[in-house]
Amino acid sequence: MNHVIIIGGGLSGLTCAYYLSQKKYKVTLIEASPKFGGRTYSLINDEFNDIYDNGQHVMMGCYYETLKLIADLGNRDKVEIQKSLEIPFVHEDGKTIYLKSPKLFYPLNLAAAMMNFKLFSFKERLKIIDFLTDILFSADKDICDLSVIEWLMEKNQDEESIRKFWEILIVGTMNTTAEKASAQVFKKVLSEVFFSSSKSSSMVIPQIGLSELFIEPILNSLKNSGNCFSNTERLISLIVDQNRVVKITTNKNEYHNFDDIILSIPPHALEKIDIKNIKGELLITDFQMAMREIKYSPILNAHFWLKKNPFTEKFYSLIDSEIHWLFNHGSYISLTTSAAEYSIEKERKEIFIEFCSELEKYFPIFNSEMVIDYKIIKEKRATIIPDCTSVKLRNNIFSPFENMKFAGDWTITDLPGTIESAILSGRKASDSFA
């Protein structure tokens, strides 16, 4: 039986381990931190006995690999998928305007949703639809060197629609600004969200924590199939001979008996691995050099426990606010700021006070005295920045060794660094084995 060692127990490594074990490969999964799940994990607020996630993860109907994995793990009934697109956009004055697709044939329903989206003038709405339809006909090569802002300007999008619509979509899906984001990746995102199926733009809302949704069932499945996983075990070095990895050293073990290795760790972690030949000489690899050029963007999440919850919708998108999303979990709400370079440097108390006054502005039904507890989670390297440089790097990063492969949200998936990209990469890595 072939033995595959997978380094990194985030969603990409876990997915790869799961599908390889289903194919009866012998798998060893090695994770550096005490917990599995990487950038997706759940915590518990003991005082209220509530499970909450490190960050509210926005998922959509176009997360095909993710939804397949959820179904394979037997958790399909643990996620709610909107019947059709419906997003409440909230204005500073408390007014809510819905982007809602009516019961029409797809994709006519999307055009109708946009036409009814009263946030913009009739002319602006037509321009947005025109831009969206243009995506179907524009070639990647024409936009590969453009940032999203350059592309939007080229396509005559108004400042108002960029600020109130496109920015929200870009920051929410790519975790960076229109100035930095690559037009090519954004085109892929728009094609997936708006034009891949009738349900692709629906929001997917997990009813349980991410650990219960993904991590626990995968670890259980690995255990039941007799496979090994180990935490607090960090890969330190790889020894290479005749173009193959022949030895793996971690802080706990040395591994010689394996056939293949999959590195499912982020670029900044890959950079730190020592790669040596059998004489012990350090090798300088192109892929590690390339990793240094990848940049990251932070995400800030605040979870507020409420003595009285005044919110009626399951989630809201806030226009022109430091808070991009509010997700309503009943006893608590989760607030997300993507591309949070500025906010992340602030003290937790300061963030709490600012978020409270922002919510009071946007939701007259809310007042800060309703908050009885809060947690603030800062993730400095939440995702890579999908800029033009990273697109070129990602498309040109290949493993130099015969028995070594990569997985991870940063690999060649054409998608921004997302759950879908991580799971797709893990599945693709497993598919490369017979």
Ligand X SMILES: Cc1cc2nc3c(=O)[nH]c(=O)nc-3n(C[C@H](O)[C@H](O)[C@H](O)COP(=O)(O)OP(=O)(O)OC[C@H]3O[C@@H](n4cnc5c(N)ncnc54)[C@H](O)[C@@H]3O)c2cc1C
- H helical segments located in 178-326: 183-195, 210, 216-224, 267-270, 286-291
For residue 360, the SS3 value is helix
Does position 297 interact with ligand X (CB under 6 A)? The reply is no
Does position 206 interact with ligand X (CB under 6 A)? The reply is no
> For residues 146 and 156, what is the distance between their CA atoms, to the nearest angstrom?
15
Does position 234 interact with ligand X (CB under 6 A)? The reply is yes
Alpha carbon distances (Å) from 140 to 48, 119, 144, 151: 50, 30, 6, 12
Does position 267 interact with ligand X (CB under 6 A)? The reply is no
Among 184, 227, 301, 328, binds ligand X (CB under 6 A): 301
Among 299, 388, 404, 429, binds ligand X (CB under 6 A): 299
Contact in structure between 393 and 317 (CB atoms under 8 Å): no
Among 16, 30, 302, 356, binds ligand X (CB under 6 A): 30
Q: Considering beta carbons, is residue 306 or 339 the nearer one to ligand X?
A: 339
Please list every residue from 10 through 29 that binds ligand X, using CB under 6 A: 10-13
Q: How far is the CB of 55 from ligand X (least distance, A)?
A: 3
Q: Considering beta carbons, is residue 24 or 348 the nearer one to ligand X?
A: 348
Q: Considering beta carbons, is residue 269 or 323 the nearer one to ligand X?
A: 269
> For residues 267 and 105, what is the distance between their CA atoms, to the nearest angstrom?
42
Q: Considering beta carbons, is residue 117 or 296 the nearer one to ligand X?
A: 296
Which stretch in 35-43, 75-83, 150-158, 220-228 sits in contact with ligand X by CB under 6 A? 35-43
Does position 264 interact with ligand X (CB under 6 A)? The reply is yes
> For residues 201 and 342, what is the distance between their CA atoms, to the nearest angstrom?
29
For residue 61, the SS3 value is coil
Does position 31 interact with ligand X (CB under 6 A)? The reply is yes
Among 4, 5, 6, 8, binds ligand X (CB under 6 A): 8
End-to-end CA distance of the chain: 12
Strands in 31-137 per DSSP E: 42-45, 50-53, 59-60, 79-81, 86-90, 96-100
Contact in structure between 44 and 22 (CB atoms under 8 Å): no
- H helical segments located in 80-182: 108-115, 122-135, 140-143, 148-154, 159-161, 167-174
Among 18, 19, 25, 40, binds ligand X (CB under 6 A): 40
Q: Considering beta carbons, is residue 157 or 408 the nearer one to ligand X?
A: 408
For tokens 């100035």, the residue is 179
Which stretch in 1-9, 109-117, 282-290, 392-400 sits in contact with ligand X by CB under 6 A? 1-9
Give me the residues that bind ligand X (CB under 6 A), please: 7-13, 30-33, 38-40, 54-55, 57-59, 234-235, 264-266, 269, 299, 301, 379, 382-383, 408-409, 417-420, 422
